[in-house]
Structure 1
């Protein structure tokens, strides 16, 4: 007796021809430290002449960059990620300087890093958060009697 149940269906006769899943390739990388926002100069016209002046990061962009310290995946970002996010910071700065044409690109770039709950759902990311009740209690509730321990019933 070879096995249980009927023999497998011939793959050529199947209604759905799902492709085999491509195996996941795991590559080891070294996480990198978050860099500071760079200092650089931009060209502006003064009396029709090009002049180089220091770029000033908008306060909103400095706050946005500081917020990345709290990103749950920060410890996994490589130098390539930080380079991409520095470019995104420049787009963020242009957006906050009034260039509304940058909004779509900014949204797309932030989505790649799961900035909104919808983006995280699309990336299949879920951030685990310990509740204070679990941490403070230190014990697992196993029955309704345990939950109601210490509650006195009042007679009407």
Structure 2
């Protein structure tokens, strides 16, 4: 049995690269960004034998939450992002408590935050460190410049061919 996982599909083309120049019917709304502090995980309650009982968070979920709090993406999270991620922590806890049916929902939710390299590419996220490293790399010169100091060893290239 093959199960298809739902996803968002490819990102729409940039309007400047579209074949037709149809105008977007809805204008964009600009919001003032206010960075929010990550909340602590609240008490975790599960239904055990029909009764709602407070239980400890799965250790894997606690580690996962700390990872998100320290992630580079977190500096761009607003209060609504943290609230959505907090709900996602509940899905994560269900998954790590053995509820495998939570896997698909968990995958879709973490993708919205750029959890994997593919997610970050779709969201057009890029780590600044790579940009900084590229700017510090010396400009590529000609092959004459790069290999000018190389010397031919005695025996020439025949030593390799005879091996």
Show the 5 A alignment for 1:7-156. Answer: 18-21=21-24, 22-45=26-49, 50=51, 53-130=53-130, 140-144=138-142, 147-148=146-147, 151-155=149-153, 156=156
TM-score under structure 1 length normalisation:
0.69
Point out where structure 1 has 5 or more consecutive residues left out of the alignment.
Answer: 1-15
Relative to structure 1, is the Cα distance of residues 146 and 35 closer, same or farther in structure 2, using a 3 angstrom cutoff?
A: farther
C-alpha contact 2:44 2:57 (8 A) present in aligned 1:
no
- Structure 1 outlier segments of 4+, above 6 Å: none
Deviations 1:99-147 (A, max 9, x none): 1111111111011111112222222323333389758xx5633523554
Relative to structure 1, is the Cα distance of residues 98 and 142 closer, same or farther in structure 2, using a 3 angstrom cutoff?
A: closer
C-alpha contact 1:141 1:147 (8 A) present in aligned 2:
no
RMSD (CA atoms) = 2.9
CA distance in 1, matches of 2:21, 2:131: 41
Relative to structure 1, is the Cα distance of residues 40 and 30 closer, same or farther in structure 2, using a 3 angstrom cutoff?
A: same
Aligned length: 134
CA distance in 1, matches of 2:102, 2:89: 11
Relative to structure 1, is the Cα distance of residues 110 and 133 closer, same or farther in structure 2, using a 3 angstrom cutoff?
A: closer
C-alpha contact 1:88 1:109 (8 A) present in aligned 2:
yes
TM-score under structure 2 length normalisation:
0.67
Deviations 1:68-112 (A, max 9, x none): 134222111011111110110011000010111111111110111
